[in-house]
């Protein structure tokens, strides 16, 4: 069932020389250029003209070197539904297809999704596996993540049926320990409000890092805590945002899907105004059957939405002509650096993975990307605002190289150790077969 996994790619010793390093470590960007030394899958050092005996030199000139993107909520299993529905009712109607997936098609869907993610610079994803029928489905999905080499949270969940138990989590944890290469850990996603309480208790008994509900939370408000991830956000009443803030619940905005279905722009300022901490808010891919993996456009949408919200009520001429505040170079507007932190370090914090990923810092795992600035939509300028270029100009095509845990999964613009053509063919075949089976089941 597996398709040439990346496990054979070695974690080498590399020095990335002369890139514009955006470390996302809370320290201001230090232009112009620095080196990053990677050894044993870890960031060993960051500095200028680093000595690196025995290291393979990677030319990072004209590149921005930064942490890989960390997304916090993604129904990867339904990536196969591309081109079928552009709205919310249509999307939810397609959930009938969950019954007709083969076990192998769970593998195919996850491999397809993870490969797109890596290509776009995502180094950590939260697989919101909410349609597992049995343990075979779960293992097929986890195997695809392991074969892809991406770092992942495996959010174990069921659309319906009995609640997951501690025994289910113990068995899945054992599988991940044995086969996950240290890159995949376990969480729970809860869809059935009736199962929520017992699943939360079981997850907490196991010490799982995240509890990710789409279920109605009305009967479970006492359970809310910092291990919860609340997703989406448009239309959330201020009082509920305040409750989430008080309980330390983490937030996953969905900047690509919520506007598409008409739900609203990502309500970043509203969450902040109601007390949610900025560092508790990350970005979700949500689904790729309706959008593509594009962390750059996600950041752009969140930043520009926040600027629109900030200027609400001002006339157009006021916005255009009112002089800025000389004491505030941001003019009160959301800035690109904040978006980059949200898409990297904050995402890691939302997932409880901030001790190991989300920033470039000696001792953290080497999850990083190199973004070309000599493509036609960018400009290789060493001392301008690199964050600004990334957020407003960047696109996945500019992602030259992607490293996860010290392994190059993309290098020189090419995905490594993976048969992309086969992954595409498998995904297209699975798409056709699932639709045909869905039609047959509907007619039966
Ligand atoms: Zn979701």
The CATH number of the domain where 83 resides is what? 3.20.20.140
pLDDT of residue 159: 78
Q: Could you tell me if residue 426 is inside a domain?
A: no
Q: How many domains does the chain have?
A: 1
Q: Could you tell me if residue 47 is inside a domain?
A: no
Residue in the structure block whose two tokens are 């991830």: 229
Task: Give residue 131 CA to ligand 1 midpoint distance, Å.
Answer: 11
Task: Give residue 191 CA to ligand 1 midpoint distance, Å.
Answer: 10
Name the residue among 184, 230, 189 with its Cα closest to residue 357: 184
Per the structure, the complete domain to which residue 270 belongs is given by 69-339
Task: Give residue 352 CA to ligand 1 midpoint distance, Å.
Answer: 19
Residue in the structure block whose two tokens are 């901030």: 354
Task: Give residue 219 CA to ligand 1 midpoint distance, Å.
Answer: 19
**What are the structure tokens assigned to 2, written together?**
């597996």
Q: Could you tell me if residue 227 is inside a domain?
A: yes
Name the residue among 69, 44, 68, 52 with its Cα closest to residue 17: 52
Task: Give residue 385 CA to ligand 1 midpoint distance, Å.
Answer: 33
Q: Could you tell me if residue 399 is inside a domain?
A: no
What is the DSSP code string of 285-332?
-B-SSSS---HHHHHHHHHHHHHHHHTTT--HHHHHHSPP-TT-TTTT
Task: Give residue 127 CA to ligand 1 midpoint distance, Å.
Answer: 10
Task: Give residue 325 CA to ligand 1 midpoint distance, Å.
Answer: 40
Q: Could you tell me if residue 16 is inside a domain?
A: no
H-helix or E-strand spanning residue 260: helix 257-260
- Omega of the bond prior to 388 within 30 degrees of 0, cis? no
Task: Give residue 371 CA to ligand 1 midpoint distance, Å.
Answer: 29
pLDDT of residue 444: 65
Q: Could you tell me if residue 178 is inside a domain?
A: yes
Q: Could you tell me if residue 312 is inside a domain?
A: yes
Residue in the structure block whose two tokens are 């921005």: 64
pLDDT of residue 4: 67
Per-residue pLDDT of the chain (444 residues; tens, 9 = 90+): 445 678 789 999 999 999 999 999 877 667 777 999 999 999 999 999 999 999 999 999 999 999 999 999 999 999 999 999 999 999 999 999 999 999 999 999 999 999 999 999 999 999 999 999 999 999 999 999 999 999 999 999 987 789 999 999 999 999 999 999 999 999 999 988 999 999 999 999 999 999 999 888 988 899 999 999 999 999 999 999 999 999 999 999 999 999 999 999 999 999 999 999 999 999 999 999 999 999 999 999 999 999 999 999 889 998 888 888 889 888 889 999 999 999 999 999 999 999 999 999 999 999 999 999 999 999 988 778 899 999 999 999 999 999 999 999 999 999 999 999 999 999 999 999 999 999 999 886
Q: Could you tell me if residue 82 is inside a domain?
A: yes
User: Mind spelling out the 3-state secondary structure of 16-85?
Assistant: EEEEEECCCCCCCCCCCCEEEEEECCEEEEEECCCCCCCCEEEECCCEEEEECEEECCECHHHHHHCCCC
CA angle 218/224/225 to nearest 5° reads: 170
| Whole-prediction pTM | 0.96
Task: Give residue 128 CA to ligand 1 midpoint distance, Å.
Answer: 7
pLDDT of residue 1: 43
Task: Give residue 314 CA to ligand 1 midpoint distance, Å.
Answer: 34
């Amino acid at each position: 069932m597996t398709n040439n996994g990346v496990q054979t790619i070695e974690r080498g010793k590399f020095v990335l020389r002369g890139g514009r390093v955006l470390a996302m470590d809370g320290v201001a960007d230090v232009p112009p250029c620095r080196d990053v030394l990677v050894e044993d899958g870890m960031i060993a050092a960051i500095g200028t003209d680093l000595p690196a005996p025995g290291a393979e030199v990677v030319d990072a000139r004209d590149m921005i070197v930064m942490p890989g993107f960390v997304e916090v909520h993604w129904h990867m299993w339904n990536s196969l539904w591309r081109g079928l529905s552009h709205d919310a009712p249509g999307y939810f109607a397609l959930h009938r297809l969950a019954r007709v997936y083969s076990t192998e098609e769970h593998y195919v869907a996850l491999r397809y999704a993870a490969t797109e993610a890596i290509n776009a610079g995502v180094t950590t994803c939260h697989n919101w596996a909410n349609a597992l029928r049995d343990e075979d489905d779960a293992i097929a999905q986890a195997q695809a993540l392991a074969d892809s080499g991406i770092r992942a949270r495996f959010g174990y969940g069921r659309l319906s049926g009995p609640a997951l138990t501690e025994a289910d989590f113990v068995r899945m944890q054992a599988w991940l320990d044995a086969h996950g290469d240290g890159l995949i850990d376990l969480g729970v996603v809860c869809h059935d409000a009736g199962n929520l309480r017992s699943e939360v208790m079981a997850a907490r008994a196991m010490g799982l890092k995240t509890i990710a509900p789409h279920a109605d939370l009305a009967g479970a408000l006492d359970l809310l805590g910092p291990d919860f991830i609340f997703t989406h956000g448009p239309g959330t009443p201020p009082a509920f945002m305040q409750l989430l803030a008080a309980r330390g619940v983490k937030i996953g905005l969905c900047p690509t899907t919520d506007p598409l279905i008409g739900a609203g722009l990502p309500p970043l300022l509203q969450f902040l105004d109601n007390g949610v901490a900025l560092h508790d808010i990350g970005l979700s891919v949500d689904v790729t059957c309706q959008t593509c993996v594009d962390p750059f456009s996600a950041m752009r949408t969140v930043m520009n939405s926040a600027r629109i919200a900030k200027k609400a009520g001002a006339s157009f001429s006021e916005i255009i002509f009112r002089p800025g505040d000389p004491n505030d170079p941001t003019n009160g507007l959301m800035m690109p650096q904040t978006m980059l932190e949200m898409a990297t370090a904050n995402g890691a914090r939302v997932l409880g993975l901030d001790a190991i990923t989300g920033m470039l810092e000696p001792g953290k795992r080497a999850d990083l990307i190199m973004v070309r600035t000599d493509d036609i939509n960018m400009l290789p300028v060493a001392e301008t605002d690199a964050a600004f270029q990334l957020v407003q100009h960047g696109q996945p095509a500019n992602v030259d190289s992607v490293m996860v845990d010290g392994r190059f999964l993309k290098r020189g613009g090419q995905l490594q150790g993976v048969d992309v053509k086969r992954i595409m063919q498998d995904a297209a075949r699975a798409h056709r077969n699932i639709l045909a089976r869905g039609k047959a089941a509907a007619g039966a």
